[in-house]
Amino acid sequence: MDNENSRRDFIKKSAALTLGAIAATAVVNKTLAATEFIEKEILADGAVKFNLPKLPYEYDALEPHIDKLTMEIHHDKHHQAYVTNLNKALETIDPNVLKNISSLDDIFGMMDKMPVAVRNNAGGHSNHSLFWTLMKPHGGGIPTDKLAEAINATYGSFEEFKKQFADAAMKRFGSGWAWLVVNKGKLSIGSTANQDNPSMHLDALEIKGTPVLALDVWEHAYYLKNQNRRADYINSFWNVVNWETANNLFTSAK
């Protein structure tokens, strides 16, 4: 088997394993977990092309907390646009650099050398792919397992954690994301602007670490249902959080 065929074979096997993992658990087992199952193709010239992953549930599955129309537009239009524009932006990258990119992790690892269009759209693709998995129908409740212990140890109680996370989400001026991250075993809460992700290799990030929980606070995430009432949207989010995914992100990143 020549190199190209063996590379293709490896990619095919990886994709099959990845899809199997999604079907089985919808969970991840590596750092920067959500990016591990982002669908992609390796083109004949070795370049990577990213594809929009399917929502792991129906558009109306998060009703009445997150409405169907918001989910349709958010996933099919906004997320799709990040994927499309990421692929376009990658066409502008030096082929010698591009050949070393086969995942969003690779892009995040060299983000300080990437043009802003790659930063915005790779971030948008990764953040949304992660966000969908951090919600589920009949979700919410309280954190589980090791993450529950760490939240209680760090913040004193789940209620205090929620207050601080909601505060970070409310105070993010303009568009961005609120995060719970783990860094060397330590939890912290913060936010980033635009589509920045705390695991990007960038000096200027306001919070760094591996994402455990993420909340999109762009107006496109809530304006149809909640208009200007971001606080109502944040309250709705607590009813759909997928704490199993968050716990898996936490335990696999430690």
Q: Which is nearer to Fe ion, 126 or 247 (CB)?
A: 126
Residue nearest to Fe ion (CB): 216
C-beta of 186: minimal distance to Fe ion in Å?
27
What is the distance between the alpha carbons of residues 75 and 79, in angstroms, rounded to a whole number?
5
List the one residue from 200, 216, 234, 240 that touches Fe ion (CB under 5 A): 216
C-beta of 35: minimal distance to Fe ion in Å?
16
C-beta of 244: minimal distance to Fe ion in Å?
22
- Taking the CA atoms of 46, 108, 11 and 49 in sequence, report the sign of the dihedral they define: negative
196 binds Fe ion (CB under 5 A): no
Q: Which is nearer to Fe ion, 120 or 247 (CB)?
A: 120
Q: For Fe ion, which stretch binds (CB under 5 A), given 25-33, 100-108, 213-221, 237-245? A: 213-221
Q: At 85, give phi and psi (nearest 5°).
A: -75, -30
Q: For Fe ion, which stretch binds (CB under 5 A), given 44-52, 84-92, 180-188, 219-227? A: 219-227
Instruction: Tell how strand 210-216 and strand 40-42 pair up.
Output: unpaired
C-beta of 127: minimal distance to Fe ion in Å?
7
What is the distance between the alpha carbons of residues 52 and 43, in angstroms, rounded to a whole number?
16
List the one residue from 218, 222, 237, 250 that touches Fe ion (CB under 5 A): 218
Residue-by-residue DSSP string for 43-56: -TTS-EEE-PPPPS
Q: Which is nearer to Fe ion, 218 or 233 (CB)?
A: 218
Cis, bond preceding 198 (omega within 30 deg of 0): no
- Taking the CA atoms of 168, 185, 241 and 83 in sequence, report the sign of the dihedral they define: positive
C-beta of 128: minimal distance to Fe ion in Å?
6
What is the distance between the alpha carbons of residues 99 and 112, in angstroms, rounded to a whole number?
18
Query: Which residues are at the interface with Fe ion (CB under 5 A)?
Result: 216, 218, 221
